[in-house]
Amino acid sequence: MKVLMLSKACAVGTYQKKLEELALQPEVSLTVVVPPYWREAGRRSYLERAYVTGYELRVERVIFNGHFHLHFYPGLGRVVRSLRPDIFHIDEEPYNLATFHALRLGRAVGARCLFFSWQNIYRRLPLPFNLLERYNLSHADYAVAGSQQAGAVLRRKGYRGPLATIPQFGVDPEVFRPLEGSQGADVDVFKVAYIGRLVEEKGLTVLVRALAGLGGDWQLTLIGDGPLKPEILGLAGRLGCLGRLAFIPAIPSMEVPRYLNRFDALVLPSLTRPNWKEQFGRVLIEAMACQVPVVGSDSGEIPNIIGEGGLICKEGDARDLRDNLATLQGDMELRRRLGRLGRQRVLELYTQAKVAAATYQVYRALLS
């Protein structure tokens, strides 16, 4: 089967392992179109080439790069007409112009087309996005939702076709794994990490308030960029804990395991907002694969991802988060046990090989 995938997300190196795993499936000939870079919040994230064996990775220019809803690939028609795929996997939300453009091109050459959605909050969209969404929902041959909540939103929106629930990406457990001796010499310091965008909805001010009241010696490392950094600095200064915070700019995806292994806990204290709630929390499975215990809020999909592999706190509740962190801080054996449980959960549910195998079953269903 000839499969064409359109995915700006697959410009990220660690995500490309799923592509290699897909290419290993029986009779799959895979071509993946990615942009040379993606612009977000004024920063360009350039294409990483980490896993590029067994399939063709094609780079195509993007118009309106950085505009999630409006971007599209002007050269995509040439690619579709030359390849004439059996399956066109459009790795975009159904309300995006890129999805509409790709779906029209795929249908024109007789390809079976599917899209992917993380959207887990029902929202009425303005023109023209409601029209794009309506077309895509009624003309796609299959849909893949990243969570049960996202699937329920698609059904409420009127999608009536076949639907599978599969995460967009997993992790490579050979890369995201525990590294011996990586904790360093400061065994008496409780090292807490957050990795991701520094934005309000990630609950980072809640995390600072929680840690400010934590006893003992601790350090918080925030890896990423974003507009909330000045507010975090100001809050930490007022609470008297600024010296315990460390900031590291966003790092390449292949460097994440090395950093994760330095920490005693990874925290994702996300906050639900009227137009957003946590859709997955990929950094959770990355940390779990490294046997780093995780603490997450009960926003969106986080509790379903963590399961028994970590601790859950009430979103927005600094005291509850502090209690969970204090529990981990004072119990080394619990940290080890949660680390083992977390990695086992990833191996069972969230490896790139598992995600690829489930996606391949969707392809088979499309062609049958």
Mean pLDDT of 121-135: 93
Phi then psi for residue 15, to 5 deg, are -70, -25
Could you report the per-residue pLDDT of 144-167, keeping only the tens digit for each? 999 999 999 999 999 999 999 999
Same domain, 163 and 270: no
**Alpha-carbon distance 205 to 198, whole Å?**
10
One domain for residues 201 and 141: no
Are 103 and 139 contacting, i.e. CB atoms less than 8 angstroms apart? yes
Q: What is the structure's pLDDT at 185? A: 45
pLDDT for the residue 184? 46
- One domain, residues 147 and 242: no
Confidence band, pLDDT 50/70/90 cuts, at residue 181:
low
Q: What are phi and psi of 342, to 5 degrees?
A: -65, -45
Please tell me which residue, 182 or 328, carries the higher pLDDT value. 328
CB 261 within 8 A of CB 290: yes
**β-strand 29-34 against 56-59: which pairing, if any?**
parallel
How many domains are contained in the chain? 2
Strand 310-313 vs strand 43-46: parallel, antiparallel, or unpaired?
Answer: unpaired
Q: What is the pTM of this model?
A: 0.88
Give residue-wise pLDDT tens across range 280-320. 999 999 999 999 999 999 999 999 999 999 999 999 999 99
pLDDT at 182: 56
Same domain, 200 and 135: no
The domain in which residue 330 lies consists of: 190-349
Length of the chain: 368
Q: Check if the beta carbon of residue 215 is closer than 8 Å to that of residue 328.
A: no
Domain CATH number, residue 45: 3.40.50.2000
pLDDT tens digit sequence for 224-255? 999 999 999 999 999 999 999 999 999 988 89
Asked if the model's pLDDT at residue 353 lies above 70, the reply is: yes
Confirm whether 15 is domain-assigned: yes
Angle between helices 318-329 and 204-212 (to 10 degrees): 60
- What's the mean pLDDT when you consider all of the chain? 95
Lowest mean pLDDT among 33-37, 165-169, 180-184, 273-277: 180-184
- 212 and 130 housed in the same domain: no
For 318-341, write each residue's pLDDT tens digit.
999 999 999 999 999 999 999 999
Q: For residue 204, which amino acid is it?
A: L
pLDDT at 186 over 60: no
d(CA 144, CA 168): 9
Tell whether the model's pLDDT for residue 21 goes beyond 80.
yes
Residues 145 and 210 in one domain: no
Distance CA 232, CA 141 (A): 46
Q: H-helix or E-strand containing 193?
A: strand 190-195
Burial of 230 (0-12, 13-18, 19+ CB in 10 A): exposed
